[in-house]
């Protein structure tokens, strides 16, 4: 149960490249992904994260950004200032199908009679030496690969076409992309020439006990509820590709856990935070609800 006197998050804003996790993000390693990522970062090898939605890819990147130490440079008024900070900034871009290269690099905007250049998030990450995380990269338009390729091999260069510039990435810059092989159609697969520039870390939902631990921690619910949720998720995931496009994600479990912790009855909480978000197919909904009702008593 949460109390009303909890800390209230104030409005805050960061420059794109200044954002960094302040508290340690909660992440439970499932296997050696932390070591792999660290080694890749040390060697400036870009990383590709594969895995279903809501299994912790973004959280993992945050976690790594927090833990990888380096002095931070902030670009202010065109000049880089070095500040001593302990963790890496993180630039996250959620890709969509109309995301173009200039959305990432930057563009000229007309303001009154002036033309102003605005750096895009990728440019800022390159300049600041941040981790740039392109989420669901296959969704982006193909012209973005023009940018990704020179950045991800030995050159580590970002061409800024409109300004006729080439930017050399600062130390610490690392491109991380993610994609979910599950629901991509063949059309949207990553090209081999792109894929083969990354080391890949595969994610899947954590095993039952680990997942229960995560849910318990994140949702602040009882261990029994967490374990039951994890058990249920395992069952629901058995239905993947048999009526369900994706299994219930850890994220959804956490939502359900929070709802339960907030006093919603478990069956109802699972219905609103798992069954209904997962699918619109009535038959499949009922099947999952039967699984839910088998596991939760009320």
Partner 1 sequence: MTAQLVEEAREGLRQFPPALAQEFESALEAVQPILEPDELARWLRDGLEIARHSLRSWEASSEYFRASGPVLEQITYDRMREWCTVGIDLMETSPALSGALFRASPAVLPHLSVPQANDWASQGKSLYKGTWKSGSLSAQYFDVSPQILPHLPLSQMRLLVDLIDSLASHSYELASACLGMAPGVLSQLDRADRAPFLEFGGIVAHTAWVDARVYFERGPGALRQVGEEQRPRFLSLAGQVAMQVGRLGHPYFIESAQAMSEVDKDIHEGLLELAEQLAQHSGDAAMEFLKSSPRVALRLGIDDIARWQEFGLQILQQSRDGGEAFFRLESARGEEVMEALSSRVDLDRVSELIRMYCKALTGVDVGVKASEELTAKGVGWVDESSPTTEGTTIYLPENVERYPTKEENFSVYKVFATHQAGRLEFGSFEYQSRLDPSLFPSPQNGTQNGHGNGVAPAAVEGEEGEIHTDMELFFDQFEDRRLAHDLFTIVEDTRIDTIVKREYAGVRRAFSRLQQAAIDRRRPVEGMPARQAMVENLLRASLDEIGRIRWPNELAEEMRTPLRILNRIRNDGATVQDSAAATALLYEWLSQIPNVELDSEDWSDFEQEMSADPDGGEDSDMMPGSGSSGLEESFMPFMPGSEERPYDSPDPVDFRGDFKPELVQLLMKLKGETGTGDAPPIPLTKEQLQELLEKSVEISINELMDMDLAESSGMFLDNLLKEVNQIQGERQEGQQAMGDDSTGADDGEELPVEAASFYYDEWDFRAADYKPRWCRVQEQRGESGTSNYYTETLHEHTQLVQETRKQFEMLRPEMFRKMKRLTDGEDYDLDAVIEWYTEKIAGATSETKLFYRRNKVERDVAVAFLLDVSASTDEEIQKHHDQRQDDQFDDDPRKYLSWWAQRRAEAARHPGKRIIDLEKEATVLLIEALETIGDKYGVYGFSGYGRDNVEFFVYKDMDEPFGDRIKERIDKIAPVRSTRMGPAIRHCIWKLQNTDAKVKILMLLSDGRPQDHGYGRDRTEKEYAIHDTKMALTEARREGMVPFALTVDRAGHDYLKQMCQDMAYEVVADIESLPRRLPALYRRLTG
Q: Which residues bind partner 1 (CB under 8 A)?
A: 98, 100, 102, 107, 109-110, 113, 141, 185, 228, 231, 235-236, 238-239, 242-243, 267, 283-284, 286-288, 290-297
- Report strand pairing: 79-83 vs 72-76: antiparallel
Any idea of the CA torsion for 147, 150, 152, 155, to the nearest 10 degrees? -150
Any idea of the CA torsion for 58, 232, 262, 246, to the nearest 10 degrees? 40
Both tokens assigned to 64: 């790594």
For partner 1, which is the closer residue by CB, 145 or 293?
293
Q: Coil, strand, or helix at residue 40?
A: helix
Shortest Å, Cβ 99 to partner 1: 12
- DSSP E strands in 140-273: the ranges are 157-160, 165-168, 174-179, 199-202
Shortest Å, Cβ 259 to partner 1: 17
For partner 1, which is the closer residue by CB, 33 or 136?
136
Both tokens assigned to 78: 């065109």
Residue pair 136/178 in contact (Cβ under 8 Å)? The answer is yes
Shortest Å, Cβ 84 to partner 1: 37
Both tokens assigned to 179: 């994609």
Shortest Å, Cβ 104 to partner 1: 12
246 DSSP assignment: S
Shortest Å, Cβ 106 to partner 1: 10
Report how far residue 151's alpha carbon sits from residue 130's, in angstroms, rounded to the nearest whole number: 13
Shortest Å, Cβ 283 to partner 1: 6
For partner 1, which is the closer residue by CB, 101 or 176?
101
Shortest Å, Cβ 107 to partner 1: 5
For partner 1, which is the closer residue by CB, 83 or 98?
98
Shortest Å, Cβ 228 to partner 1: 8
For partner 1, which is the closer residue by CB, 155 or 162?
162
- Angstrom distances, CA of residue 45 to CA of 28, 37, 108, 174, 281: 23, 9, 31, 7, 42
For partner 1, which is the closer residue by CB, 244 or 261?
244
For partner 1, which is the closer residue by CB, 83 or 298?
298
Q: Residue 10: which H helix or E strand, with range?
A: none
**Residue whose C-alpha is closest to residue 170's, from 73, 42, 81:** 73
For partner 1, which is the closer residue by CB, 46 or 52?
52
Q: Residue 74: which H helix or E strand, with range?
A: strand 72-76
β-strand partners of 80? 75
Report how far residue 250's alpha carbon sits from residue 227's, in angstroms, rounded to the nearest whole number: 12
């Amino acid at each position: 149960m949460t109390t009303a006197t909890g800390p209230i998050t104030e409005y805050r804003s960061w420059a794109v490249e200044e954002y960094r996790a302040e508290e340690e993000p909660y992440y439970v390693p499932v296997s050696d992904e932390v070591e792999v990522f660290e080694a890749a970062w040390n060697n400036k090898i870009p990383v590709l994260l594969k895995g279903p939605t809501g299994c912790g890819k973004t959280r993992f990147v945050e976690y790594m950004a927090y833990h990888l130490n380096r002095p931070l440079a902030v670009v202010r008024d065109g000049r880089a200032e070095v500040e001593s900070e302990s963790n890496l900034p993180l630039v996250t871009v959620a890709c969509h199908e109309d995301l173009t290269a200039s959305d990432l690099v930057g563009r000229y905007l007309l303001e009154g009679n002036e033309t102003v250049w605005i750096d895009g998030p990728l440019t800022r990450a390159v300049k600041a030496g941040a981790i740039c995380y392109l989420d669901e990269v296959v969704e982006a338009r193909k012209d973005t690969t023009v940018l990704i390729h020179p950045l991800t091999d030995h050159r580590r260069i970002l061409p800024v076409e409109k300004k006729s510039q080439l930017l050399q990435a600062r130390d610490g810059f690392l491109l991380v992309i993610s994609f979910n092989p599950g629901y991509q159609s063949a059309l949207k697969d990553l090209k081999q020439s792109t894929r083969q520039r990354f080391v890949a870390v595969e994610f899947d939902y954590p095993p039952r006990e680990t997942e229960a631990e995560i849910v318990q921690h994140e949702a602040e619910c009882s261990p029994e509820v967490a374990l039951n949720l994890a058990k249920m998720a395992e069952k629901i995931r058995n239905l993947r590709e048999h009526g369900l496009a994706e299994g219930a994600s850890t994220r959804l479990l956490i939502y359900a856990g929070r709802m339960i912790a907030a006093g919603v009855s478990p069956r109802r909480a699972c219905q609103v935070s798992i069954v209904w978000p997962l699918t619109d197919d009535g038959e499949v909904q009922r099947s999952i609800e039967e699984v839910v009702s088998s596991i939760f008593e009320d």
